[in-house]
Structure 1
Amino acid sequence: MNKFFITVLGMFLVFSACKTPEARRPVKTTSGSYIDASVAMNKKIIAADEKDILAIIEKDTSREYLSSEQGFWYFFNNQIPSETEQADFGDIVEYEYDIKDLNGNIIYTKEELGTQEYHMDKEELISGLREGLKLMKEGETATFLLPSHKAFGYYGDLKRIGANMPIITTVTILNIEQIN
């Protein structure tokens, strides 16, 4: 009887040890409603920025505004029709620019900002300006109307540019140093 009992106990232990592991369930689940609310708020901000920018474009019939694939609008103040090349990845672009609000009030002058040097796509720069520089050639001047998400976004620049503030920037490329 003792052998039988040990055999049954051994078989029980073997079969109970072969149980597959069960997945652990989360203690607390969230619905993602914060993300949904954030997306809805960002869509409203983008729509308001676009509405304001399109109102400016509609009033200004003296210029030909272009819409970029990246989500901003621009026009050339001075366009060079020559075959000079635009800046490419890694090229060094020397430029100057100013920043205004949508009412045309100056936030930063060219003198305050000074001459800037930017290594194309290798340094941090607001996305609207980074993409705008790619559209220009040496010696050209262009004005970009940037919605807030293409400018300084949610935080602004923590100085004079507020949160979710669309801007107008006029940029002149002084020199493009081709690296390749």
Structure 2
Amino acid sequence: MNPRSLLIIATGIFALVSCKTPEARRPVQQSSGSFIKQSAERNKVLYKKEEERIATIMEANPEQEYLSSPSGFWYYYNIKDSLDIPTPEYGDIVTFTYDVRSLEGTSILTESETGLQIYKIDQSNQDLISGLRDGVKLMKVGEQVTFLFPSYKAYGYYGLQDKLGTNVPIQSTVTLKSIQQSQ
């Protein structure tokens, strides 16, 4: 056999072998999803404990009329506006002040530490806890509301650097200063 035909045969064999379809790579370690299930169970137990703790606080303060939010927190009005003015809607810019306290009332962040907040409803990447973002939507200009947030609506797993541990429910008093309606 001459070298040229040997080269043609080798190229043909190489072409046939290299046409094999790629095989999917398999994970080195397979997970059964048990970590996620355990985490969900832990979170349910944690939420139940926080809910009971908040219920105890509400029972100890019968002078307040607590309302339940569909978002998963409780609140009462310190100052309520009875006028039929609108609450903020998507895209509106609101200004407000707030503080953060433990459920027992110990100050964690004061209004002077948090400052005047300017927030565009549902469009801002501002570093606000989800409870505040949801709570402000329930308010009218001039109202002051105290919110009781379970940890998942507050600072959750991360806590607040050097001020609040992980998975700690809080209360926050918010005063809505203005609403600038979007066009």
TM-score range, shorter chain: 0.7 to 0.9
Match of 1:133 among 133, 136, 151: 136
Letter in 2 for 1:31: S
Task: State percent identity of aligned pairs.
Answer: 48
Letter in 1 for 2:119: Y
In the other structure, the counterpart of 1:173 is 176
Gap change, CA 1:21 and 1:179, over 3 Å in 2 = closer
Determine if the alignment matches structure 1 residue 118 to structure 2 residue 116. no
Amino acid at match of 1:96: T
Mapped pair 1:68 → 2:69: yes
Work out whether 1:92 is the aligned partner of 2:86. no
Out of 141, 149, 155, the position equivalent to 1:152 is: 155
Q: TM-score, normalised by structure 1?
A: 0.84
Which AA in structure 1 matches 2:87? Answer: Q
Question: What TM-score do the two structures reach when normalised by structure 2?
Answer: 0.83
CA 1:115/1:26 → structure 2, altered by over 3 Å: closer, same or farther?
closer
2:29 maps to what in 1? 28
Change (3 A) 1:141 1:30: same
* 3-state SS in 2 of match to 1:56: helix
Residue 81 of structure 1 is matched in structure 2 by 82
- Structure 2 runs not aligned, ≥5 long: 1-16
Q: CA RMSD, aligned part only?
A: 2.0
Structure 1 stretches of 4+ moved >6 Å: 19-24
Question: What secondary structure is seen at the aligned counterpart in 1 of 2:118?
Answer: strand
Gaps of 5+ in 1: 1-16
Cα deviation, residue 108, structure 1: 1.0
* CA pair 54-30 structure 1, distance change in 2 beyond 3 A: same
**Following the alignment from structure 2 to structure 1, what is the Cα–Cα distance between the partners of residues 182 and 26?**
55
Aligned to 1:162: 165
Which amino acid letter does the alignment assign opposite residue 49 of structure 1? E
Deviations 1:15-46 (A, max 9, x none): xx9x9998765553221111111111111111
The total of aligned residue pairs comes to 166
Letter of the aligned partner of 2:108 in structure 1? I
Of 19-28 and 141-150, deviating more is 19-28
The residue type paired with residue 130 of structure 1 is R
